[in-house]
Structure 1
Amino acid sequence: MLNDYIELSKEVSKAKAYNLPIVALESTIISHGMPYPENVKTALECERIVRENGAVPATIAILNGKLKIGLSESEIDFLGKEATKIQKTSRRDIAYNITNKINGATTVSATMYIASLANIHVFATGGIGGVHRGAETTMDISADLEELAETPVTVISAGAKSILDIGLTLEYLETKGVPVIGYGTKSLPAFYSRESDFEVNFKIDFPDEIAKLIKTKLELNLRGGMLVANPIPKEYSMPKEVINKAIDEALVEMDKLGIKGKEATPYLLGKIVELTKGKSLESNIKLVYNNCELAAQIATELKKLGV
């Protein structure tokens, strides 16, 4: 039975019992996104921000053969200390990791799927995966996009990661019928930068309007989720030319080293931190906090609508 594999934290169980708003949070950002102890501090601050804005955080991971929805501070610290020893886990890996009791840090796709099992409709992350540069020959396309097409969870992010082919990522989402919402913007944010050369499908200015859209989409039984692109705060936005130069240098280095697949994104993000002398890491952290705040506001408005 499915319930045999799911374990809710006490806080999430209480939230479900009292019909409180819940925001899902991923765990790959803890184990693979940042160095220790910054990763743990960031994860705990994300949870604090969600609570401060009226919702209950549900950080998701796979631990001891269970789909854990909501983690204790000690479990978050464990993921942070073990870091890359914890397996980066997408939807593809879930059953294998559960069967073999392999601890897993969930990516966007795995977090979305597990959140949907608990009927959690809102998920805050940093940036989604997408179509990688050169995908016309490598076919390197993130499972995040297929999950957005299939799973009814709305993802709040700072747009697509700058290391991706943003144009092709939008084309893929268009093909799959995934609405891309710009929070207060018509330009699709590019993770470290507030703007890109591409436009979102719809501009929405207020959390309650996004909540109404989520409710309508669910009631129409339209398959899949939505992507809400929330620009990084102005004071932490990095100039496009600076970040693009760092990305280009990192891509050249990655190709020389032969790094591919799911190791590519962590390597590129780490290299960009090095090339920008830590500025990109600070931006990364601040944009995640910004997304947590908006996600909690949307989840709270959604609950007012009875969802």
Structure 2
Amino acid sequence: MIDLVLSSEVRAAKDAGRAIVALESTIITHGMPYPQNVEVAAQVEQDIRDAGATPATIAVIDGKLHVGLEADQLQTLGQAKGVAKLSRADMAACIATGGTGATTVAATMIAAQFAGVEVFATGGIGGVHKGAESTFDISADLHELAQTRVTVVAAGAKAILDVPKTLEVLETLGVPVIAYGQDAFPAFWSAQSPLPAPLRMDDAIQIAQAHATRNALGLPGGQLVANPIPADDQIPAEELTPIIEAAQADADTHGITGKGVTPYLLQRIFELTEGRSLTANIALVRNNARLAAQIAQELIKI
């Protein structure tokens, strides 16, 4: 029913019992222009290899679920037009109709669990959007974390969201939120926020043990590992907060709503920071990939 295609590298890793880290593909199709998108994706994959694990970039191509992409497929996807952005609601439909789509956090988690991959590295998760009390705009990522057994390494939730409400929803859904190496929940482009993280762990072994223990207890869902961006790469929160507020005001002025809000805000913040937000984004994704590789290796040992 599901045509699952493993890349040659991922298949070899599974056969040998080596650690694998899932990667999403929307960063390639919707995150930045060609050829930078492919260059960054290839660099993140190499970071995982250098850290001792195997990368598995996930996408749906012509109705087939690919876990791991060959180099030529990465190039083709990076130049493709009209690629769907897949989440839980439309992933099956894309496969069933022979479509091509890039996976978001939620869809990547689904595919990773289906393929037996337990760790996933991304930039930042989606969450509760500002004004959600009237729009009910809450990312499917949060519910996916509550039901799909994958540990997700991210630099927190995207800073354009209502982060306090995002943490409240994660708590309600029973999702462990683990700050790596600090007590504060990181703020995506910034290493620190005023929000305390519910949990703290200081090494990959503890995180892997927590993942395995949840499975042993029969608990559904995964873990969110909030990995702060390296201090040298961050944009401090006191500098970024007024920029985000200005971008939000611009979106309100132009009547931007619904699915258009996030891409508009990210583009406006890119402009207002003169490109520094994208540089920071790349740095944090690479940092998350390295930590995810360590966690995946510890899980193999367990």
Instruction: Please give the TM-score of this superposition, normalised by the length of structure 2.
Output: 0.97
- Write out per-residue CA displacement over residues 52-96 of structure 1, whole angstroms, 9 at most, x where no aligned residue: 11111000001010111001122212222226x211111111121
Match of 1:68 in 2: 66
Matches within 5 A, 1:117-156: 117-156=114-153
Match of 1:213 in 2: 210
Match of 1:233 in 2: 230
Structure 2 spans left out of the alignment, 5+ residues: none
1:251 CA displacement: 1.6
2:55 partner SS: strand
Match of 2:108 in 1: 111
Matches within 5 A, 1:121-200: 121-200=118-197
1:261 CA displacement: 3.0
Match of 1:7 in 2: 5
Match of 1:263 in 2: 260
1:111 CA displacement: 0.2
Match of 1:53 in 2: 51
Q: Following the alignment from structure 1 to structure 2, what is the Cα–Cα distance between the partners of residues 57 and 284?
A: 19
Match of 1:29 in 2: 27
- Write out per-residue CA displacement over residues 218-242 of structure 1, whole angstroms, 9 at most, x where no aligned residue: 1111110000000000001112132
1:35 partner SS: coil
Structure 1 spans left out of the alignment, 5+ residues: none
Which of 33, 38, 42 is the aligned partner of 1:44?
A: 42
Q: Following the alignment from structure 1 to structure 2, what is the Cα–Cα distance between the partners of residues 284 and 270?
A: 13
More divergent stretch after superposition (18-27 vs 90-99)? 90-99
More divergent stretch after superposition (260-269 vs 94-103)? 260-269
Count of residues in Structure 1 that have an aligned counterpart in Structure 2 = 302
1:119 partner SS: coil
Q: Following the alignment from structure 1 to structure 2, what is the Cα–Cα distance between the partners of residues 233 and 119?
A: 30
Percent of pairs with identical residues: 53
Q: Following the alignment from structure 1 to structure 2, what is the Cα–Cα distance between the partners of residues 69 and 229?
A: 24
Q: Following the alignment from structure 1 to structure 2, what is the Cα–Cα distance between the partners of residues 13 and 82?
A: 25
Which of 241, 245, 249 is the aligned partner of 2:246?
A: 249
- Write out per-residue CA displacement over residues 228-278 of structure 1, whole angstroms, 9 at most, x where no aligned residue: 000000001112132222211222222333333333222211211111000
Structure 2 letter corresponding to 1:180:
V
More divergent stretch after superposition (32-41 vs 227-236)? 32-41
Q: Following the alignment from structure 1 to structure 2, what is the Cα–Cα distance between the partners of residues 233 and 16?
A: 31
Q: Following the alignment from structure 1 to structure 2, what is the Cα–Cα distance between the partners of residues 264 and 56?
A: 34
1:36 CA displacement: 1.9
Q: Following the alignment from structure 1 to structure 2, what is the Cα–Cα distance between the partners of residues 264 and 218?
A: 36
Structure 1 letter corresponding to 2:170:
L
Structure 2 letter corresponding to 1:25:
L
1:38 CA displacement: 1.5
Tell whether 2:297 aligns with 1:300: yes
Instruction: Please give the TM-score of this superposition, normalised by the length of structure 1.
Output: 0.96
Match of 2:284 in 1: 287
1:91 partner SS: coil
Q: Following the alignment from structure 2 to structure 1, what is the Cα–Cα distance between the partners of residues 39 and 254?
A: 31
Match of 1:92 in 2: 89
Q: Following the alignment from structure 2 to structure 1, what is the Cα–Cα distance between the partners of residues 101 and 114?
A: 17
User: Structure 1: which 4+ aligned runs deviate by more than 6 Å?
Assistant: none
More divergent stretch after superposition (4-13 vs 22-31)? 4-13
RMSD value, Cα: 1.2
